Structure 1
């Protein structure tokens, strides 16, 4: 799936065009691969895989920016920080990536909800 961030991602504003790719053997993990810079890619996962009751409030600005007309229009992903120690692999639940499944337009939402951590451990233990 092709994805376009009109504003880029925070810290990566220069790069707008990405593609979501499957990760072989990665099951629920995906790769958000930058089309403009091949060595730039982010591992992503649905936050609902981590927190079943995950809930965010999408701002009116993002609804407008992404041309969202219903909740079914939106895919939600969170970025993953990898580590050689599985206990230190984390997911950013505070700043989900929202994608309109029909247009491919995307934006990262920085939530105010402190319930969700920037470095939430994926694997308990």
Structure 2
């Protein structure tokens, strides 16, 4: 399936790579189908990917693996919240968080409060709200990334 994206221009996405969010994502309940796109030309420290909407080509969110910058990230999630995406094997779970990069990149943050949980086997996903103050909506990561660069990680 060809899609003309804002970030990557026209790209071809295999139907088998489309991830379905039965309830959409927070703030965008009508956007239910997405693809994870990697920028293979850019080698970023924390491996930024793009969650590209299949319904709205101009909508894509940068996402990262939270463990790349917060190694002890381990939110507790009620099983009930994961039922719609049929997780049976913990090895098939991929957790990502959204990345916000303002004009002043030193203020970039990730949202640890609302992770995206993906069942990689079934290509189903949901965005959940973690019920704790332990994980903020705006967790600053610029200094962490700079430190990782210096350490060669």
Q: Structure 2-normalised TM-score?
A: 0.77
Following superposition, the deviation at residue 84 of structure 1 comes to 2.1
Name which of structure 1's ranges 37-46 and 24-33 shifts more when overlaid on structure 2.
24-33
Aligned length: 125
How much has 1:88 moved relative to structure 2? Answer: 0.8
- Tell me, what secondary structure is at the counterpart of 1:69? coil
1:26 Cα deviation after fit: 4.8
CA RMSD of aligned residues (A): 1.3
Q: Which residue of 2 aligns with 1:80?
A: 99
Q: Which runs of 4+ in 1 moved over 2 A?
A: none
In structure 1, what is the Cα distance between the partners aligned to 2:77 and 2:94? 12
Structure 1, unaligned runs of 5 or more: none
SS in 1 for 2:142: coil
1:120 and 2:120 are equivalent in the alignment: no
Q: Identify the residue that residue 25 of structure 1 maps to in structure 2.
A: 42
Distance 1:63 1:118, change over 3 A: same
Match of 1:5 among 16, 21, 24: 21
- CA deviation vs aligned residue, 1:17-68 (integer Å, no higher than 9, x gap): 1000002315300000001100000000001011101001222223321111
CA shift digits 1:60-119 (9 cap, x unpaired): 223321111121121000001111222111100111000001011000010012111101
TM-score calculated relative to the size of structure 1: 0.94
Determine which structure has more spread, i.e. the larger CA radius of gyration.
2
